[in-house]
Chains A and B, each alone.
Chain A
Amino acid sequence: MKLFKLLGLFWSTSLAAEMEYRSNFVMATLSTLFGLGATLFALSLFYRRGADLGGWSWLEALLVLGMFTLLHGLSRTLFEPNLSRIVEHVRTGTLDFVLLKPIDSQLWLSTRRLSPWGVPDIVLGVGLIAYAATTLGLEPLSFLVALVPVASSLTILYSIWFTVAATTIWYVKIYNITDVLQAWLDAGRYPIESFPPGVFRFIFTFVVPVAFLTTVPARAMLGHFEVRWLLYAVLLAAGLFVFSRVFWRFALRFYTSASS
């Protein structure tokens, strides 16, 4: 319960701080609309020629795009405001103060802030999913089924992001490594089957596992998924999460603060 009280405090203070910049909301909404518009345009280029993306119909592809948009919004709200600051803490040495607090340092670094600017993405993502699902005639139950893989996706995304950010304890100079990760995640706008077998699918399944982030949840909603893949997603999420914790403890042993 102490945890919930803490989260309540963390998030109410950071929301109060962000509300000073309310006009950000206009920019965030515009950038979501522009980004979604560009992707819809790209998708339409395939379907208007009678082609499809790796066997996915137009509505099914929209479902994947909806999952991507939702995940993008959630990570903008929950992860980005926190994880993008880790590098700064390491570089300037303010990580010292975090380590001194009577709270788990990974928990503090990962939950201290909450940014409302991912909300437009979340709303549009859910809207897109709902539109595609109802037009496809999916049962309401399928939304419930999707909860498990979506939760796995979030955990996978968080764990990878945190682990990558933790490497900056050794390599402060490569502060932009999380930007590379974010750039590659863009591949999640398209179902994994739309990439050529071989190098592409290997990278997007095992190196930057966007296949698990958007394709698996979308397929779970459609109902033609194999339980096997759902299990893999949950296992991967649990494994990566545990790894991120072990890795953080390991990395901290090498933390020497700034200018020492």
Chain B
Amino acid sequence: MTAFWRKLKAFADAGFASWSEYRAELYLWALAGVIPIIMMGVWRQTATRHDIGMSPSELTRYFLAVFMVRQLTMVWLIWEFEQQVVTGTLSPQLLQPIHPFWRFLVWHLTERVARTPFALALLLFWLWVFPDAVWLPSLKDLGLTALGVAAAFLARFVIQCAVATIAFWSERASSIEQLWFTVYMALSGMIAPLEMFPPSVRSFAELTPFPYMVYFPARILLGMPVDLLKGFAVLGAWSLAGFVVFRLLWRRGLRHYSAMGA
């Protein structure tokens, strides 16, 4: 077990070194996560002009929470993995005495640590622009948010791992991920709080894992009532399902994989 942890530590050290070198790039990725901010603008302005059942401050607060959840749960391994399969750089990693996806996991975690200060600065900027939206979560809510965000991240990470293995057979793994992302965007609460959905769409959305990846942690962060048990159970179940599919596809995919030029 200690050998395993030493390997992870080596990944983490390399990750931190790399992220501190590529800080500027990382900050730009953080700036690219702008959809919640755009939606915040549109919803806030609409609520100012019409009575839509939520106040401008509530909506601003909601989308800022969504913004933070998104920043903390972004997953990008599929773009990297697809490149590795196409160019064959996956091969040397297969020779390493550890599953290549551990490296992805550690790199995501170190990236998150490097990104968070900048994401917080962006949050403070928007709170400075819209001071009516300032809220102070309790320590308990912050702790629960950390758990919720971790569970949401894990579910998204594992599902993307499963989708990424499609790269062994097809060059369209990332296109499939993009379609998945569009549905995620529409149903997760990123473009509107679920209260704003028509009831039928809302009940449909709640059958999918998406609302639990954004709406659920965002509500915890806002200190609003949520069904904690159900939320964590759904995220856990989807993570498990994603993991099983990933293991299955990974084994078959590796047999199918013939490195570039081989």
Contacts and interface: CB of A to CB of B under 8 A. Distances in A.
Interface of A: 23, 27, 30-31, 34-35, 37-38, 41-42, 45-46, 48-54, 171, 173-177, 179-180, 183-184, 186-187, 190, 194-196, 198-200
Given A27-B175, A179-B32, A195 B191 contact: no
Contact of A179 (B28, B35, B201): B28
Contacts of A194: 41-42, 45-46
Give the dominant DSSP class at B's interface: helix
In this complex, which of B28, B29, B49, B175 has the most chain A Cβ atoms within 10 angstroms of its Cβ? B28
Nearest to B178: A31
Contacts of A50: 50
Nearest to B175: A27
Interface residues of B, number: 37
B44 to A, nearest CB: 5
Interface stretch (B101-109, B179-187, B214-222): B179-187
24 contacts: A27-B172, A31-B175, A31-B178, A37-B186, A38-B186, A41-B201, A45-B192, A46-B42, A48-B198, A54-B45, A173-B22, A174-B24, A176-B25, A176-B29, A179-B28, A179-B29, A179-B32, A180-B28, A183-B32, A184-B34, A195-B45, A196-B41, A196-B44, A198-B129
Given A173-B22, A177-B28, A179-B32, A196 B48 contact: yes
Interface of B: 22, 24-25, 28-29, 31-35, 38-39, 41-42, 44-46, 48-50, 52-53, 129, 172, 175, 178-179, 182-183, 185-186, 191-192, 196-198, 201
A174 B25 contact: yes
A194 B43 CA distance: 8
A45 B22 CA distance: 39
Give the dominant DSSP class at A's interface: helix
Contacts, number: 97
A171 B42 contact: no
Contact of A186 (B22, B29, B34, B175): B34
Given A180-B31, A199-B129, A31 B179 contact: yes
Contacts of B197: 45
Given A30-B179, A186-B38, A195-B41, A176 B198 contact: no
Contacts of B50: 49-52
B170 to A, nearest CB: 9
A37 B52 CA distance: 23
Nearest to A204: B41
B183 A51 contact: no
Nearest to B21: A173
A150 B187 CA distance: 32
Contacts of A196: 41, 44-45, 48
Q: In the A-B complex, list the 4 residue pairs whose CB atoms are closest, starting with the nearest.
A: A51-B50, A183-B32, A34-B182, A38-B186
A38 B28 contact: no
Nearest to B53: A49
A180 B41 contact: no
Contacts of B183: 34, 38
Contacts of A27: 172, 175
